[in-house]
Amino acid sequence: MQGVKGLHATYVENRRQFIETMQNFNILIAEDNDLSRENLADLLRSEGHTVRAVSDGKQAMDLVVEDQYDLVITDLRMPRVDGLELLRFMKDLDPDNLVIMITGYGTVDSAVDAMKLGAFDYITKPLRDDLVKLTVRRALSFARLKEENLVLKDSLIEKYDFGKLIGYSNCMKKVFENIEKVSTSDSTVIIYGESGTGKELVARAIHFNSDRRNHHLVPVNCGAIPEELLESELFGHEKGAFTGAFRNRVGRFELAQGGTIFLDEIGDMSPALQVKVLRVIQEKQFERIGGIKTIYADVRIIAATNQNLELAVAEKRFREDLFYRINVIPIHMPPLRDRGPDIAILANHFLRTFNKMKKKSLTGIHPDALNCLVHYGWPGNVRELQNLIEMFVVMKSEGEIGLDDLPPKILSQRRDSVSYRPVEVPPEGLNYNEMVSQYEKDLLLKALKHCGGVKNRAAKLLNLNRTTLVEKLKRFNLMEAEEADAG
């Protein structure tokens, strides 16, 4: 199980991919004049659309309840059911349905009626190809825009829910499950993982899925605050508390009131900071420097580290009492090299993101290049992959990311997969059927030999199902050969 929000993220991704491929539309034409119907259909087909054409409104009605059409183009005057009635029917079905009305000259009033009923536009007869194309393109980019807006709305939800935490591998599913479980509680969470594995994203996901989401998520980089500023950073100070304290200052814990404090790189905390944080956790209260008021800390704690804290405790670099306070619910972020199925998904996700950000249009990643990415070790994890894809998008002007683009350390990961072996066609020609059969027989016999004659295994090896393999063996009279071979 990936969790509701995880599925949502996947859904948004899929939808985005869907829109990017939205170019060929499904169009329905209703027009009683045979010649103009056929002309219109041909014109739109030549623009790459899928077209269905019928000769009256009744037939069109039957079709639209059965199938989804992106656009309906209808003549106004038709036998049985006319254009306006069809339009009304379409709008009742779904107000978002797109309809273009074709009107004869002298029927301006009907054109106005059509627009009032919600037609997207109208075109007057005699139809001019360029005008038709233009109107249809406008209608379709309108449709696409609408889809994009939906996605925009979705991605806002996504942004404030799960960040863009993307994952498909089994270990990431486990992470999604854990996020979902801990989000509903107030328990302290510690996220372990190598650098760049997405610890911060997970912290965000937990916060924005908890009841504290309307308060702040306040990060503290525990290794980066200078010793002398530490106390003031965390707890704030009153004006005049020390030289240089010109005004009151709210500290990080106070800022996180009602929300979450994210203690990042907690393994790098100085001994002095460890004492102070331990005290807040234990007593759930603190004072500003120079202040007299005790502030109750309603703050959830999420910590993260790329260190082995138990080892740090054993080596006396990290306080044992603090460790037990922090190590309540651990979440382990797996390194990217253990998340095989995620690599391609993340790479394509980053490609789309950077394409958009940098207004480029690289078309994708060649399978051979992807193969190298999947086998590379990714010491810098997701961050390293993200940086690499950004580099491609900046450096390349167009086309597909291929083997030539890869840096040598990744290129050296190339594993040749078994692929089609080319054959030559001699100038004197050959017997096509015989050659193909020979190739097939060869593959079948080699696979059987490799598997000691066990058909199940041979079928698996060739990516065939067993019945297909057996049929082929029979067809080539190889059943006995195989049995003899095995026996």
Nearer to ligand ATP, 235 or 378 (CB): 378
Alpha-carbon span 147 to 157, nearest angstrom: 16
The region, left, alpha or beta by phi > 0 then psi within -120 to 50, assigned to residue 446 is alpha
Nearer to ligand ATP, 16 or 125 (CB): 16
Residue labelled with tokens 């270990």: 171
Q: At residue 216, what are phi and psi to the nearest 5 degrees?
A: -80, 150
User: Are 405 and 369 a contacting pair, CB within 8 Å?
Assistant: yes
Site membership for ligand ATP, residue 274 (CB under 6 A):
no
List C-alpha distances in Å: 286 to 19, 53, 166, 291, 376.
Answer: 52, 75, 38, 10, 48
Site track 162-201 with Mg ion (rule: CB under 5 A), x = hit:
-------------------------------------xx-
Among 188, 175, 189, 183, smallest CA distance to 210 is for 183
Site membership for ligand ATP, residue 29 (CB under 6 A):
no
Among 157, 121, 163, 127, smallest CA distance to 139 is for 121
User: Are 12 and 151 a contacting pair, CB within 8 Å?
Assistant: yes
Q: Which does 334 bind (CB under 5 to 8 A by kind): ligand ATP, Mg ion, none?
A: none
Rounded to a whole number of angstroms, the minimum distance from the CB of residue 306 to Mg ion is 8
Q: Which does 382 bind (CB under 5 to 8 A by kind): ligand ATP, Mg ion, none?
A: ligand ATP
Of residues 200-239, those binding Mg ion (CB under 5 A):
200
Rounded to a whole number of angstroms, the minimum distance from the CB of residue 349 to ligand ATP is 6
Rounded to a whole number of angstroms, the minimum distance from the CB of residue 199 to Mg ion is 5
Burial class of residue 236 (count of CB atoms within 10 Å of its CB; 0-12, 13-18, 19+)? buried
Site membership for ligand ATP, residue 383 (CB under 6 A):
yes
Answer for which of 29, 41, 140, 201 binds ligand ATP (CB under 6 A) is 201
Of residues 283-342, those binding ligand ATP (CB under 6 A):
306
Answer for which of 33, 195, 353, 355 binds ligand ATP (CB under 6 A) is 195
Stretch that binds ligand ATP, among 18-26, 136-144, 368-376, 380-388 (CB under 6 A): 380-388
Rounded to a whole number of angstroms, the minimum distance from the CB of residue 63 to Mg ion is 55
Residue labelled with tokens 């939800």: 157
Alpha-carbon span 280 to 298, nearest angstrom: 10
Binding site for ligand ATP (CB under 6 A): 164-167, 193, 195-201, 306, 346, 382-383, 386
